[in-house]
Amino acid sequence: MTKILLLSDTHSHIDDTILKYVAQADEVWHAGDIGDLNVTDAIKKLKPLRAVYGNIDDAKARLEFPLNNRFSCENVSVWITHIGGYPGKYNPNVREELVLNPPKLFICGHSHILKVMFDKKNNLLHMNPGAAGKSGFHKVRTMLRFVIDDDKIKDLEIIEIGEK
């Protein structure tokens, strides 16, 4: 059983509230637009981190993190990318691969809109944790927390970390 904290779009913002949730997780996954690498450095001091770079991230972030991160957590195949779109409206850069080789869990950020939905056509769970940072149009900062237990994704929680 692995407890995951999923966040995105920190845009250089990290605070004690985010770090409190980091400390409670087994792993932290960041879906891009990290901003300053002090964000990921602070997370890595506490827990293992899997991340991707986003469209605002600089060359240093792009050297440290990939555009796409595909891996398995327990018996769940996972794909994290920053700009992925949504079921029925996937980004053209990922659409073909999602059809040919879909993961069980597809994660993206970018929109600053928290959304979790099952894609029946591609038989995958889509997650976007919204934005944990203070930059952007969103009103409430959000993250997701869930458990991967063997081949099951369960105990999903929305974490609202306050207005920006």
pLDDT tens string, the chain, 164 residues long: the values are 999 999 999 999 999 999 999 999 999 999 999 999 999 999 999 999 999 999 999 999 999 999 999 999 999 999 999 999 999 999 999 999 999 999 999 999 999 999 999 999 999 999 999 999 998 888 899 999 999 999 999 999 999 987 65
- Specify the pTM: 0.96
Cα 119 → chain centroid: 17
Q: How far apart are alpha carbons 10 and 50 in whole angstroms? A: 15
Handedness of CA 10, 20, 125, 64 (dihedral sign): positive
Q: How far apart are alpha carbons 125 and 61 in whole angstroms? A: 27
DSSP β-bridge partners for residue 126 = 106, 117
49-51/85-86 β-pairing: unpaired
Q: How far apart are alpha carbons 73 and 111 in whole angstroms? A: 25
Residue ranges of the alpha helices (H) in 47-128?
59-64, 92-100
Residue ranges of the alpha helices (H) in 52-106?
59-64, 92-100
pLDDT at 164: 57
What is the C-alpha radius of gyration for the chain, rounded to an integer number of angstroms? Answer: 14
Tell me, letter by letter, the H, E, C secondary structure of 141-159. EEEEEEEEECCEEEEEEEE
